């Protein structure tokens, strides 16, 4: 095989590899990396659960605003709805519970799993 033929094969092979490597599928993978893993082990009320409630629930259930008779800005009231199953029922949109946050998107699976871990481990005020 001549040098000219080898050079032409290398150029063609390189071009094909570039075209394959730059396909739309490859671009999508680069633009949308896998989300960070969700750590749901050893959840603590003050550092893990309270921030979820503040971000998603306080507008209706805190600072004296007790829609549906539920306040979530104090540990004791959060523990009550956690222990009676209401907190998981409403956040998972389970049958028989009003879906919360009302009018908003369901909490992420990660946040729901954090709440479940905290409840399953005693719903401590830690």
Query: How confident is the model at residue 29, as a pLDDT?
Result: 45
pLDDT tens-place string over residues 45-82:
999 999 999 999 999 999 999 999 999 999 999 999 99
pLDDT tens track for 79-89? 999 999 999 99
Q: List the chain domain ranges.
A: 1-33, 45-120
Average pLDDT, the chain: 84
pLDDT at 21: 53
| 67 in Cβ contact with 113 (< 8 Å) | no
pTM of the full structure: 0.71
Say what percent of the chain tops pLDDT 90: 68
CA distance linking residue 107 with residue 86, whole number of Å: 15
């Amino acid at each position: 095989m001549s040098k000219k033929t080898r050079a032409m094969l290398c150029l063609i092979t390189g071009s094909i590899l570039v075209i394959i490597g730059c396909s739309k599928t490859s671009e999508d993978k680069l633009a949308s990396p896998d989300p960070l893993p969700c750590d749901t082990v050893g959840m603590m009320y003050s550092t893990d659960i309270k921030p979820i409630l503040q971000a998603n629930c306080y507008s209706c259930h805190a600072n004296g605003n007790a829609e549906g008779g539920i306040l979530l800005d104090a540990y004791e009231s959060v523990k009550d709805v956690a222990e009676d199953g209401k907190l998981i029922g409403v956040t998972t949109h389970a049958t028989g519970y009003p879906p919360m946050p009302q009018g908003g998107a369901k909490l992420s699976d990660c946040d729901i799993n954090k709440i479940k871990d905290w409840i399953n481990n005693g719903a401590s005020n830690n």
